Structure 1
Amino acid sequence: MITALDHRPAHVRGREMAEALFAHPVAVAARDPHGQAPPLFAEEAASMRRAVPRRFREFAAGRAAAREAAGRLGIAAGAIPMAADRAPLWPEGLVGSISHCDRCCLAAVAPSWAAASIGLDVEEDTPLDADLIAVICTPAERDWLAAQPRAEVNHLAKLIFSAKECAYKCQYPLTGRIFGFDGLEITLVPDRGEFTARFLMEIGTFAPGCRLFGRFQRRQGLIVTAMKLAPDGKDTQ
């Protein structure tokens, strides 16, 4: 089977991938992080005074994407400044997540009545450096990788990395806890585009063994992982 190449900009493809992973009322928008930086609110710009140009463009693209996504829900989002821990400070009534890779900046937002938290991550679908696999992957994850086709191992390791980033972003607004890659263990179901993130230690209200469920897409050089926690704490898509 021959698949036609998609020559559209990466952020356009990334948005479509993320939209396929979330259901209403989660809204998604995207920006090109290499484009001209959109204008920022004063309180947003204040946190970027010392940023290098690339970081400034990524930050501005993420905030613009988040405001566009909120607008798709009929919500006029104002400033989304950066907290002391560098996490976005979402306007009251909104939850969300922002992610970027070299070619794509994505944002997903939802009303707080519909979601307790959102996790979103986008990565270039390039092979993870071999020396990072032992840092990022647990022994069980490495055993699973060892059973996969050799040509796919490092790409799947990158997918595990993205799934951990997604789950981390989803839990952080609820727990405020920072932890390493050894705090979560990922189980991938590649043929269904699904994954499970299992807590290996107590993280806030998440006990060891607690599982979060997410979805992913790998297409045309991008990886997008996504999850949503319902207001009752249950993970839904």
Structure 2
Amino acid sequence: MLAQVLPSGVVAVEAFGPAAAGPLLGEEAAAVARAVPARRAEYAAVRACARDALEALGAGRPAVPSSPDRSPVWPAGVVGALTHCDGYRAAAVARAEAWLGVGIDAEPLAPLPDGVAALVMSDDERRALARVDPALCPDRVLFSAKESVYKVWSPLVRTWLGFEDVRVSLGEGTFSAHLDRPGLVDVLHGRWTTGHGLLVTAVALPR
């Protein structure tokens, strides 16, 4: 799925089905030392995707530990992002010499829970979604788009970016995210798709 929404030069690896526990390298284990077994398995499984993606990029198979804010710490010269939800996990990586950042997000293909839409989107965004086929769960797509944007923003700017700071317009398999906070760019463009009962969004910011 991610191959459909990421540009050439960004390597993605995804896995479907139950998370299988795998080895944790170096500092990775510390991040989930007190976690329940299901959380440890999910963490290890998404790190396995990360190592497969890094190897495909030519960056070896290093550990991908977590920073204090729980974001992944990539090896020097690499940018990337991780995502997982029930039955799915994925990693996307790229060379920092060509890309400033990458953001991906996966969600179940289902409407947002009651009350969440009002917290993550403006009245104008909600009115615009009324024109989109509800079978595509556009509220969830918009939420996911903002999550992908945040994963590009956070490693570069290191300041908070709230849902209210990003205004998303959905197109047919595309989206535009207008940023109302200075520090990166005014607009980020991304793509989205659905399949396997899931939806994925992605943003890649070229250097």
Greater than 2 Å deviation, 4+ residue runs: 31-36, 145-149
Aligned position for 2:184: 206
Aligned position for 1:104: 88
| Higher strand residue share | 2
- Shift in Å at residue 199 of structure 1? 1.0
* Equivalent position SS for 1:71: helix
Read off the aligned partner of 1:214 and give its amino acid letter: G
* Structure with greater Cα Rg: 1
* Equivalent position SS for 1:25: coil
Kindly, what percent of the aligned residue pairs are identical?
Answer: 37
**Alignment partner of 1:230 is 2:206:** yes
For 1:35 and 1:100, locate their aligned partners in 2 and report how far apart those are by CA, in whole Å: 10
| 1:33 and 1:57 in contact (8 A); partners too | no
**Alignment partner of 1:137 is 2:121:** yes
For 2:66 and 2:17, locate their aligned partners in 1 and report how far apart those are by CA, in whole Å: 18
* Equivalent position SS for 1:134: helix
For 1:126 and 1:52, locate their aligned partners in 2 and report how far apart those are by CA, in whole Å: 27
| 2:7 and 2:204 in contact (8 A); partners too | no
Aligned position for 2:42: 58
- Deviations along 1:82-113, one digit per CA (max 9) or x if unpaired, are 01111111011111000001010010001111
Aligned position for 1:234: none
**Alignment partner of 1:71 is 2:47:** no
Q: How many residues matched? A: 207
Read off the aligned partner of 1:229 and give its amino acid letter: L
The unaligned stretches of length 5 or more in structure 2 are none
**TM norm structure 2:** 0.93
CA distance 1:163–1:110, change in 2 (3 Å) = same
The unaligned stretches of length 5 or more in structure 1 are 1-16, 232-237
**Alignment partner of 1:177 is 2:148:** no
Aligned to 1:31, which of 15, 19, 24?
15
Aligned position for 1:13: none
Aligned to 1:165, which of 139, 147, 163?
147
| 1:31 and 1:64 in contact (8 A); partners too | no
| 1:119 and 1:170 in contact (8 A); partners too | yes
* Equivalent position SS for 1:116: strand
| 1:187 and 1:196 in contact (8 A); partners too | yes
Aligned position for 2:193: 217
For 2:184 and 2:62, locate their aligned partners in 1 and report how far apart those are by CA, in whole Å: 32
